[in-house]
Amino acid sequence: KPQLVASNDRFCRFLEEYCPVVTETYYPTIWCWEGRMQTLLRPFITSRPQVQYRNELIKTADGGQISLDWFDNNDSLYYPDASTRPTVLLLPGLTGTSKESYILHMIHQSETLGYRCVVFNNRGIAGEDLLTPRTYCAANTEDLEAVIHHIHSLHPSAPFMAAGVSMGGMLLLNYLGKTGRDTPLMAAAIFSAGWNVFESVESLEKPLNWLLFNYYLTTCLQSSISRHRQMLEKLFDMNLVMKARTIREFDKQFTSVMFGYRTIDDYYEDASPCRKLKSVGIPVLCLNSVDDVFSPGHAIPVETAKQNANVALVLTSCGGHIGFLEGIWPRKCTYMDRVFKQFVQAIFEHGNKFFSM
């Protein structure tokens, strides 16, 4: 069984009644139980549901643009009125977009419940041009704030929550830690977030983890900015950035410089959601596996979570990073997908019972 960490008895009772998956035994796929294997195989094993998006480009205060992919769900039987149709904002991981299999599965789950989804693509990685020499990072929440304000202004009467995966979860937690209760979001779900960036990069720099994950992700980051090289060369030594062989080197030469941090340690401290967890002011459910090399079990802020009545952690012993495969042939639904579906349904359909407690 997963470990459910929550200081708020009301939150625990609410989850046990309306999101019972968090108390059920999770059986990882028997031939794929090790965390690194779960992490590596999920993108190849799981199906990719067909999703038709409507793209929208919104302008930012600094002259940039953000690409949003909408799944309007206009055929919703449960919520035919678009003005009150519940909306889920989805935040993909480090180099992820609306095309990631885990995002497509979240949209598929939301579709069956009648909800609308919006995917927040970080600047410059979803095919749109960079209009300014700026991309994104886990600590800077300005773009996310603009997106949340934009969506809420379009549908002010619609119930609204968000779900973030990996770096998307870190960004969402940092936003919630900054805003407290001053947000139009009712609640949030966080999956496989890296809680302490120092611990995450140290884990990813161990030889096997560097070989399996770190080097590949570094090349993905470099690939995501190479298309915008002409724009970015105005501010950066791109030859030096392209020589990075670890995420830490990339962040030292590029990310921390872009967002004005004096040192990479200053950036990593600001980017670590564990520092802001006490300030979260709305219900948040966070799923992590303790065998996740991107977010080591010893770095999960269990004691800090117990000090905030709005926070619940669900910790599994297996599952890896965005893995959580289950069943003999895990093509379709994962444990993570089931947690997502039950929690968003619990908030949208029964949240009034929790908020009135």
Show which residues are catalytic. 166, 292, 321
Q: How many CB atoms lie within 10 A of CB 257?
A: 16
Per 3-state DSSP, what percentage of the chain is helix, strand, and coil (rounded to 5)?
A: 45, 15, 40
* C-alpha to C-alpha distance for 257 and 249, rounded to whole angstroms: 12
**Structural contact between residues 188 and 284, judged by C-beta atoms closer than 8 angstroms:** yes
**Structural contact between residues 15 and 346, judged by C-beta atoms closer than 8 angstroms:** yes
User: Residue type for 347, please?
Assistant: I
Pairs from 212-216 (Cβ < 8 Å, separation ≥ 24): 212/36, 212/40, 213/36, 213/39, 213/293, 213/294, 214/246, 214/247, 215/245, 215/246
Q: Which residue has the tokens 């940092």?
A: 174
